[in-house]
Amino acid sequence: MKPCIFLIAACLMDAVLTHFGISSGFIEEGNPMMREVIATGWTYFYLIKILLPLVLLGLFYLRPFKGRIRTLLISTCILYLSVLAYHMVWIVLYLNTST
């Protein structure tokens, strides 16, 4: 259950920090598909960022921690952890250049 809670929290933090970073002009979206979604509108961006992890969590509840579903869930958590670490790097750089 802890990976599920982490995944939802990480997804929301990633979406908010990405929105802030792009809106402030400090970062650009690295994923070309998400870049197109952002060009369409932030609402779609947030929908995708929230719905995709919810689908994975739905799979988790159908087959809790078995085989590929467990591997997908843990891999996604690790991926989001690295994305959040990247966000922390640009936030620190942003704060250092703002002063």
Domain boundaries, the chain: 2-98
pLDDT digits 0-9 by tens, 76-90: 899 999 999 999 998
Mean pLDDT of 38-58: 90
Sequence-separated (6 or more) residues with CB below 8 Å from residue 71: none
Dihedral angle sign, alpha carbons of residues 22, 28, 34, 36: positive
pTM confidence score: 0.82
Compute the distance between CA of residue 11 and CA of residue 45 in angstroms, rounded to an integer.
Answer: 12
pLDDT at 99 over 70: no
